[in-house]
Amino acid sequence: MKILNGAQLQLIDQLTIQRQGISSWELMERAALKAVEAMESDFGEGLQELPIVIICGKGNNGGDGLAIGRILGEQGYNVEVKLLHSENYSPDNLINQQKLGAKEMFTLDDDLKLPASGLLIDCLFGSGLHSELGISWVNIIRRINGFGGPVVSIDMPSGLLTDRLIDSGAPMVHADKVYTFQVPKLNLLLPAYGYAVGGFTVLDIGLDTQALDEAEGAYHYTVAEDVAGLLRPRSRFSHKGTFGHACLIGGSEGKMGAVVMSARASLRSGCGLLTAVVPQIGHPILQSTVPEAMLSVDSGKLQLEEFSNNGNFQAFGVGIGMGKGESTVRGFSKWMQDLKSQARIILDADALNILSEHADLLKFLPRQTILTPHPKELQRLIGEWSDDYEKIEMAKTFARAHGVILLIKGAHTAIIDEDGSCYFNSTGNPGMATGGSGDVLTGIICSLLAQGYVPLEAAKLGVFIHGLTADLAKEKFGEISMLPTDLIDFLPMAFEKLKPRSYLA
């Protein structure tokens, strides 16, 4: 799914109106109906009990609010609409004012009266905001943010631009939930504005698909439909050789669990064979916990030294639980220098930290190696940034300079390809913030690489599946108690969910 900005959406609106032979008011009505449906589904019967207050501005976002107010009122909800006084309402806003009838007018100087609790729907500004809000908006935004119940924003939290940097002190609605139309907007995905976006749902309002397909942009949001098609069916005549031999290299004293989790995640993700290269201390641990894995035991006792690399492996996953002791750094450097240029590799954890401290090794990375830093590891690799926009630009420059794929872990993990495209993930939840989640991800992606998925596909599919396991685990264990090992247990269900349905049951 593409991520688009306000100007692009305005153009696509126009094309939709022309090609579908509808009026702009009808499109607004569609959007309002979708928003009402989404609220009914999210709030359930509770919505009937709540006083609902809708705050509307002068543009089409306000027009949506007026339409939502009318629809909710017709359905018997307890709804109150407040409209900002203006000299220049948008035409569809005016039509919806007439259709609604009763509403309360207010100005920015008024001390807006709000119910003590209930639901507040914020329709002051949407994608038409052209710059951050000035001081005159502080009062109204403060009232909204101080509301005693949930605040939902239509399309955007009012005050947040779609895809440009904005001062964090600027007046901005802090939404518990955003219902955004047709496509996500970049600022809904960036950590910098996390405080204003409790969560968001994309509502399909049926904009012209050709116009959406043709819209240009480097930013994408990976949803199930984007990755389901990547998953390859298994032929009846396939055998273990068909699905590749993955090699995981890692582990050190006290950190063998990382390799165990990575190995189990690899096997559950479908590779045909798996070898783990571990220090001697890992031998009994791996053999007893992951009997399916073959072992190549290193000469190092407590940490890796030799990095023997004799097998015919289709993919390597390196760094999990590895540590960065002197002999490990030496062995890893040598291993890097001996790599074939077409090797498929994913590097994680200490492998990344070693690269940060030995930048001379970067030149040995085969093209399209996947690096999976969390924000701190990224900072060590590419340097400090001053904001999320600079971070993305610096990451793109790094990916281009070294011909690698950067996978920046976090809420909406971002995959940055060397051509500058950027893919934000849609699955996952804060329950994944436990040590070991990353080891599971490395195992999944290494397995997909071994099966012949090209690196960008393996990264997108792996990140999506990994997040999906967490969403499934959340239903059973909740965000607080879920563990990385639970993610592995939900891999079979996640793959099944994504698999294209067969016509024959």
Binding positions for (6S)-NADPHX: 60-64, 126-132, 155, 258, 321, 374, 439
Q: Which residue numbers belong to the known binding site?
A: 60-64, 122, 126-132, 155, 158, 258, 321, 374, 409-413, 438-439
Q: What is the dihedral of CA 181, 184, 189, 194, to 10 degrees?
A: 0
User: E strands of 114-209, at which residues?
Assistant: 119-123, 151-154, 177-181, 200-203
C-alpha to C-alpha distance for 2 and 452, rounded to whole angstroms: 26
The residue from 16, 158, 314, 442 that contacts K ion (CB under 5 A) is 158
131 binds, among K ion, ligand LZDS7PUF, none (CB under 5 to 8 A by kind): ligand LZDS7PUF
Strand segments (E) across 74-226: 79-84, 104-106, 119-123, 151-154, 177-181, 200-203, 219-222
Q: What is the dihedral of CA 444, 447, 448, 454, to 10 degrees?
A: 120
User: Distance of CA 380 to CAs 8, 10, 253, 355, Å?
Assistant: 36, 40, 24, 9
Contact between 153 and K ion per CB under 5 A? yes
Question: Position of tokens 């990264």?
Answer: 459
300 makes contact, choosing from ligand LZDS7PUF, K ion, none, with CB < 5 to 8 Å by partner type, with none
227 neighbors 459 (Cβ within 8 angstroms): no
Q: Write down the least CB distance from residue 417 to ligand LZDS7PUF, Å.
A: 27
Tell me the C-alpha distance between 78 and 52, whole Å. Answer: 6
Q: Pick from K ion, ligand LZDS7PUF, none: which does 321 bind, CB < 5 to 8 A by kind?
A: none
Rounded to an integer, what distance in angstroms lies between the CA atom of residue 42 and that of residue 276?
45
Residues that bind ligand LZDS7PUF (CB under 6 A): 9, 13, 27-28, 31, 57-64, 90, 125-131, 133, 154-155, 181-182, 207
- The alpha carbon torsion through 455, 310, 444, 485 (nearest 10 deg) reads -160
Nearest approach, Cβ of residue 424 and ligand LZDS7PUF (Å):
19
Residue 462 partner contact from ligand LZDS7PUF, K ion, none using kind-dependent CB cut-offs of 5 to 8 Å: none
Kindly state the tokens that stand for 360: 């001379």
266 is an interface residue for K ion by CB under 5 A:
no
- Minimum gap (Å) between residue 132 Cβ and ligand LZDS7PUF: 6
Distance CA 88, CA 92 (A): 12
Question: Which of the choices ligand LZDS7PUF, K ion, none does residue 153 contact, using the CB cut-off of 5 to 8 A by kind?
Answer: K ion
* DSSP letter, residue 464: H
Partner from ligand LZDS7PUF, K ion, none contacting 275, C-beta within 5 to 8 A by type: none
- 86 and 106 Cβ atoms separated by less than 8 Å: no
DSSP state of 109: T
Out of K ion, ligand LZDS7PUF, none, which partner does residue 243 contact, by CB within 5 to 8 A per kind? Answer: none
CA atoms of 90 and 350, how far apart (whole Å): 56
| Residues in region 83-142 near K ion by CB under 5 A | 122, 126
Give the 3-state secondary structure of residue 485. Answer: helix
DSSP 418-437: TTS-EEEE----GGG-STTH
Q: Which of K ion, ligand LZDS7PUF, none does 128 bind, CB closer than 5 to 8 A by kind?
A: ligand LZDS7PUF
CB of 25 to ligand LZDS7PUF, least distance (A): 9
CB of residue 82 to ligand LZDS7PUF, shortest distance in Å: 15
Residue 431's binding partner among K ion, ligand LZDS7PUF, none (Cβ under 5 to 8 angstroms by kind) is: none
Residue 372: name the closest of 394, 353, 346 by CA: 346
Question: Residue 126 or 257: which CB sits closer to ligand LZDS7PUF?
Answer: 126
Residues within the annotated binding site for AMP? 409-413, 438
CB 190 within 8 A of CB 7: no
Whichever of 89 and 316 has its CB closer to ligand LZDS7PUF, that residue is 89
Taking the complex as a whole, how short is the minimal distance between the CB of residue 40 and ligand LZDS7PUF, in angstroms?
A: 19
Q: What minimum distance in Å lies between the beta carbon of 140 and ligand LZDS7PUF?
A: 11
For 394, 398, 402, the CA distances from 382, given in Å and listed in that order, are: 7, 7, 11
When CB distances are held under 5 to 8 angstroms depending on the partner's kind, the choice from K ion, ligand LZDS7PUF, none that residue 13 binds is ligand LZDS7PUF
Nearer to K ion, 35 or 399 (CB): 35
Residues making up the binding site for K(+): 61, 122, 158
* Shorter beta-carbon distance to ligand LZDS7PUF: residue 83 or 441: 83
Nearest distance from residue 64's CB to K ion, in Å?
A: 8
**Closer of 59 and 279 to ligand LZDS7PUF (Cβ):** 59
Rounded least distance, CB 4 to ligand LZDS7PUF, Å = 9
Q: How far apart are CA 236 and CA 457, in angstroms?
A: 24
Question: Is residue 369 near K ion by the rule CB under 5 A?
Answer: no
306 vs 260: CA distance, rounded Å: 20
Least Cβ distance, residue 316 to K ion (angstroms): 47
Contact residues toward K ion (CB under 5 A) are 122, 126, 153-154, 158
